[in-house]
Structure formats: structure tokens, C-alpha cells
Amino acid sequence: MAEEVRAVAAKALAAPREVLTLRLGGEEYGIDILRVQEIRSYEQPTRLAGAPPHVLGVTNLRGVIVPIVDLRCRFGLDVACGSDTVTVVLAVGGRTVGAVVDAVSDVVALTPAQIKPAPAFSGVIDAGHITGIATLGDGERARMLILLDIEQLMSGADMGLAAQALL
């Protein structure tokens, strides 16, 4: 019985991990596809007085009021909306949150061999929301994908989003 459990666990660890690739500034990021509810074209949210700069406001998504966070602003990047700017609607921390990004690309399946641990930065850079770095492709066409723990990123105290109360 214990061997069966270990075999199932080993198979789960070796299974490809699917991530949605998105662009913030000049870098490519990946977030767990299981956190993504939908991708919507960008619409200006209703601004909330006193909200931090990265919290753009709220929008009504089929009767649910959803906070909208600009990940570009959160990461200290230039914030300019273009034709590719979208809102990725996420399920994090028991609530629905929108994340504005420059563009989304595709969904990729990553094997454990493609993922390397995130480097340590000794407190200079807050990289607690980075789970690893993946390499896609080979040779000159290889590109790096920064893997985000979107749950940790969105639930951080500096995000200004309280966990949704459980009823």
C-alpha cells in the first residue's frame, strides 16, 4: 500500500505542470493555469479612493465585484495600456481577483527538468512570490519564464486585498 502511494506521488511530481504565459514589461512570466478563471479584454475599472496605486479599482463581473490589480505597477514597471493589454481573472485565496498584464501568450506544459529553483536574494529583492525559473526551447531560441506563486503574490499584505470572509 505504501509503495502504491509513493508511486502515485512520484507520478504526480513528474507530471507536466501547465502554466499560462504572460508578459509584464519585457519579461515573460508563468502562472498556474488552475488559478485562471478567464481572460478578458482590459476595461477601465471603477477607481476606489485611498486604494494603493497598484489596485486600479473594481469591476462588476456577472454580479460579482472584483478588485483589479495592475501587476505592472506592482512590479514597478511602466504602465501603458495597449491593444494586447488584458485582465486575467484569477481564483486566489478564496476570492476572485483581476490582474492586468501587458499580454498573454499561451499555455505551456513544463516538466520538472525544465524548472530550476529561484535564486536567493538575501533580502535585497522580495522574491518570495517567485517559485522558479523555467527554460523553454533550446539554443539561441531558448527563453526564460519566471514562475509566479500568484496566490502568495495576491495575498501579500502590501497588495491591500483582505482574504474573503468565509460564510
pLDDT tens-digit readout, 55-81: 999 999 999 999 999 999 988 888 888
Length of the chain: 167
Burial of 102 (0-12, 13-18, 19+ CB in 10 A): buried
Does 8 fall in a domain?
no
Q: Which domain holds residue 129?
A: 16-159
This prediction's pTM? 0.80
Residue 67 lies in a domain: yes
pLDDT of residue 12: 46
How confident is residue 47, by pLDDT bands cut at 50, 70 and 90? very high
- Residue 1 domain-assigned (yes or no): no
Query: What DSSP assignment string belongs to 40-99?
Result: EE--PPBP-TT--TTEEEEEEETTEEEEEEEHHHHTT------TT-EEEEEEETTEEEEE
| Domain count along the chain | 1
Residue 162 burial by Cβ neighbours in a 10 Å radius (0-12, 13-18, 19+): exposed
Nearest CA-CA partner of 112 in 16, 3, 4: 16
Q: Residue 27: pLDDT above 80?
A: yes
The answer as to whether 167 is a domain residue is: no
pLDDT of residue 5: 43
pLDDT in tens, 112-167: 999 998 877 665 455 668 889 999 887 778 889 999 999 988 876 656 555 543 33
**Which sign does the torsion angle of CA 43, 44, 50, 55 carry?**
positive
- pLDDT at residue 45, as a whole number: 96
Q: What is the CATH number of the domain that holds 57?
A: 2.40.50.180
